[in-house]
Amino acid sequence: MSAVPETVLPSPPGPVSPATAVSWPGLVSAVAGECLAVLLQGADQDWSRRAGGLDWTCRQTLDHLALGLIGYTGLLIARPRDRYITLFASLDPHASVPACLEGLGIAASMLSATVRDTAADVRAWHPWGHSDAAGFAAMGVVELAVHTYDITRTLGLPWTPPGEPSTAALARLFPDAPPGHGPSATLLWCTGRISLPGMPRRTEWQWYGGTA
């Protein structure tokens, strides 16, 4: 994935606090709703342009999101220990952008429902650490948030990831997240989208989904 253009967001004082009593199904649904709403505002634009600094177009980024959300859902259902699942989801390449966003909403709803119905002791394979339902929900939140940010940059829509889901995702997936910055800016820094004061933008990154 190519580097994204340089941006610096304002960072309110105070560290990102750990998430407590997180309702992961609710966060997945809330983030999806916010992302779909802002993306719908740009549905009439040219989605064949690259999304932010990615190598994918805006349309291809939507397809990547659908693949990821359905993949996390399938992993929680099948619970493999050493491989990805064999189900791959994609959006109709001939569908309109609003119809594709509807499909993405379906994928997010499936992940939310599966997370809600999955026992806390369930674990499934992921290349960045075998994870539980909370971990896969957090991955879904990150995918939705950062790729919506990528697309909205190209579409010229002012948007940043919401604070509460960002805080929860950072606490679950990014133990190396730097303190002293707002959660939205910190999440974008952790995923290589922006720089922070005194901290250059990352060119390589990953999350840590593993759990005991």
Alpha-carbon span 193 to 112, nearest angstrom:
26
Q: Which range is least confidently modeled, 16-30, 44-58, 166-180? A: 16-30
Q: How confident is the model over 82-130, as pLDDT tens digits?
A: 999 998 889 999 999 999 999 999 999 999 999 999 999 999 999 988 9
* Cα four-point dihedral sign 8, 40, 93, 114: positive
User: Helix 163-173 vs helix 133-155: angle between axes, to the nearest 10 degrees?
Assistant: 130
- Domains of the chain, earliest start first: 24-175 (1.20.120.450)
As beta bridge partners, residue 50 has 57
* Per-residue confidence band for 211, with pLDDT thresholds at 50, 70 and 90: confident
pLDDT the model gives residue 212? 58
Q: Which residues contact 174 (CB under 8 A, 6 or more apart)?
A: 186, 187, 190, 207, 208
Neighbours of 124 (CB within 10 A): 23
With cut-offs at 50, 70 and 90, classify the pLDDT of residue 17: very low
As a whole number, the mean pLDDT across the chain is 90
Report the C-alpha gap between 45 and 180 in whole angstroms: 37
Collapse the DSSP code of 141 into the 3-class scheme (helix H, G, I; strand E, B; otherwise coil) and give the result: helix
Q: 198: which DSSP letter? A: T
